């Protein structure tokens, strides 16, 4: 990904955890057609086994990830790499860092603008 930027924003907002399903939903249309490879280092969820089985070694659609992570769960450490269905679709990386921050790496101006609008505390990181 050339020309990429990395934005980091707090996962806890007003005493409430913003989970992966909410992050993906908030990013909206630019990632709707993406398929994701998920690496889970630490996840707390009553659906841990189902999530692990559904995502192990396979690409998962945005809609399916939203469905899997809509239950009470907290991705404490993990990374997703999303690929669009066309060559012009932006590649996106999302990382949960110690359940305190979400980091998003992309070269999509539309996604970067959306993140800054939704999460005004977002700060640019120099490296992944």
Q: Would the pLDDT of 1 be above 60? A: no
Please report where in the chains the tokens 């939203």 appear, as a residue. 66
How would residue 78 be classed by pLDDT, with cut points 50, 70 and 90? very high
- The answer to whether position 128 is within a domain reads no
Are the beta carbons of 61 and 35 closer than 8 angstroms? yes
- The answer to whether position 126 is within a domain reads no
Residue 44 is encoded by which pair of tokens?
């707390």
Question: Residue 3: its pLDDT value, please?
Answer: 79
- The answer to whether position 15 is within a domain reads yes
Tens of pLDDT along 7-58?
999 999 999 999 999 999 999 998 998 999 999 999 999 989 999 999 998 8
Q: Provide CB contacts within 8 A for 23, sequence distance 6+.
A: 94, 102
Number of domains in the chain: 1
Q: Would the pLDDT of 90 be above 70? A: no
Please report where in the chains the tokens 């669009």 appear, as a residue. 84
**Is 127 or 88 the better-scoring residue by pLDDT?**
127
Share of the chain above pLDDT 90, in %: 78
3/109 Cα distance (integer angstroms)? 10
- The answer to whether position 127 is within a domain reads no
Tens of pLDDT along 102-113?
999 999 999 999
Q: Provide CB contacts within 8 A for 97, sequence distance 6+.
A: 8, 77, 103
Q: Which domain holds residue 42?
A: 5-120
- The answer to whether position 113 is within a domain reads yes
- The answer to whether position 72 is within a domain reads yes
Question: Residue 124: its pLDDT value, please?
Answer: 98
């Amino acid at each position: 990904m050339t020309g990429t930027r990395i934005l980091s924003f707090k996962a806890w907002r007003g005493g409430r955890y913003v989970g992966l399903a909410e992050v993906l939903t908030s990013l909206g249309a630019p990632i709707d057609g993406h398929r994701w490879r998920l690496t889970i280092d630490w996840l707390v969820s009553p659906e841990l086994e189902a999530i692990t089985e559904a995502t192990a070694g396979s690409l998962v659609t945005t809609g399916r990830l939203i469905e899997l992570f809509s239950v009470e769960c907290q991705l404490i450490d993990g990374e997703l790499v999303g690929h669009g269905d066309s060559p012009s679709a932006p590649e996106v990386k999302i990382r949960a860092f110690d359940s305190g921050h979400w980091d998003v790496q992309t070269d999509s101006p539309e996604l970067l603008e959306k993140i800054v609008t939704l999460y005004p505390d977002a700060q640019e990181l120099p490296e992944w």
